[in-house]
Amino acid sequence: MMPLSTKERVRSGSVLRLFFALGIVAVSVACKPEDEPKGEVSARPVRTITVTERIVGNTVTLAGTIESQVQVDLGFRIGGRVAERSAHVGDHVEAGQIIARLDPADEENGLRSAEANLTAAEGQLSEARTDFERQRQLYDRGFVSRAGYDRAETALTNATSQADAARAQYLIAKRRLNDTELYADAPGRVIAIGAEPGEVVQPGRMIVQIARDGGIDAVFDVPAAVLESAPVDPAVTVALSQTPSVTAKGRVREVSPRADPVTGTFRVRVGLIVPPAELRLGSTVTGTALFGDVSAIEVPATALTRSAIGPAVWIVDPDAQTVSLREIEIDRFLPASVAVAGGLVPGDIVVTAGVQALRPGQAVRLSQ
């Protein structure tokens, strides 16, 4: 045999490599098992709830403030210049504690003048009484005429009247001097100031405003439409705006008979039952009440989807573990849910998450 040239040897190696590769492919094809049947589609996990009936209604929430049930404006019964005010906003005062004083100079002078007039009137009365007794004795003995007796009696009557008038003026002056001092009539906390030392005030002007100790109210300005739809005695839950976990129950205690001329709202006071200490005077609160309590079916808003006709939800068949679309009738929309008027019955299993990825008859798996 003749030896192969270099070119022929290269060609022969390429052919061998090609046959070797084809052989591997053939073996691989021969060893490949028969096509396996396609596996079933895995069940989709969903979250669900079981439908029950519960009390639903129109939830009304309004903002308000905490106030004392009794707030009084304290002022002087007379006018004058404020010489001293010892109470300040936030101070707690006790019954009988002095709050402010007026300059008493004029009232002291008036009392001295009234006292002098009373002394003079009582002296004249004593003299007239003595003269009358003397004239009466002389008349009884026949030493004086009837006219002299009558003059003595008239003088006694006039002196008595003048003494009574002087005594009344003295008591008025004494009371006016007492009125230059302003006292707290009950324990409470000062919430407002109406005058500063040095000011000249008129009788009755508010010097301090005091919230008396005792019960507190949550006060709300309620629109007329809400007031008209409210039940007779709604239960109100009051929560502190900054800390909603601080709550108290309350009942409507007072409703203003007249609307505010500017806002058209009615002032409603809700008496709080055993309020926590965090609900202080002036705190901003929110009041929530449920109007129109009825038994109805309520589902989360996330369960809502649409069919070709209208609103619908996905219902799970507990035996087949598949879903079907069911149309519902919505009664009202609530903050985070919907009240269902028809289409569901207690015991239905409704999908609440993943509703957009479902199709009728799809297998599902209830997730915990």
Q: Can you give the pLDDT of all 368 residues of the chain as single tens digits?
A: 444 444 444 444 443 343 444 343 333 434 444 443 443 457 888 888 888 877 666 678 899 999 999 999 999 999 999 999 999 999 999 999 999 999 999 999 999 999 999 999 999 999 999 999 998 898 888 888 888 889 999 999 999 999 999 999 999 999 999 999 999 999 999 999 999 999 999 999 999 999 998 889 999 999 988 888 777 788 899 999 999 999 999 999 999 999 999 989 999 999 999 999 899 988 999 999 877 656 678 888 888 888 888 899 999 998 888 999 999 988 777 777 888 888 888 888 899 887 888 888 888 888 75
Whether residues 95 and 193 fall in one domain: yes
State the Cα–Cα distance between residues 113 and 108, nearest whole angstrom: 9
Most distant CA pair in the chain: distance in Å? 202
Out of 179, 204, 232, a domain closes at 179
Question: Looking at residue 5, what DSSP letter applies?
Answer: P
- CATH number of the domain at 331, please: 2.40.420.20
Out of 293, 322, 337, a domain closes at 293
Tokens of 334: 């609530």
Whether residues 163 and 282 fall in one domain: no
Whether residues 219 and 126 fall in one domain: no
Whether residues 263 and 195 fall in one domain: no
Tokens of 189: 């906390």
Q: Which domain holds residue 193?
A: 80-102+180-213
Whether residues 277 and 287 fall in one domain: yes
Out of 276, 293, 310, a domain closes at 293
Q: Are 64 and 236 in contact (CB under 8 A)?
A: no
Whether residues 168 and 186 fall in one domain: no
Q: Are 212 and 68 in contact (CB under 8 A)?
A: yes
- CATH number of the domain at 135, please: 1.10.287
Structural domain tally of the chain? 4
- pTM score, whole prediction: 0.56
Strand partners, 182: 100
Whether residues 138 and 209 fall in one domain: no
State the Cα–Cα distance between residues 198 and 182, nearest whole angstrom: 15
> Does residue 232 lie in a domain region?
yes
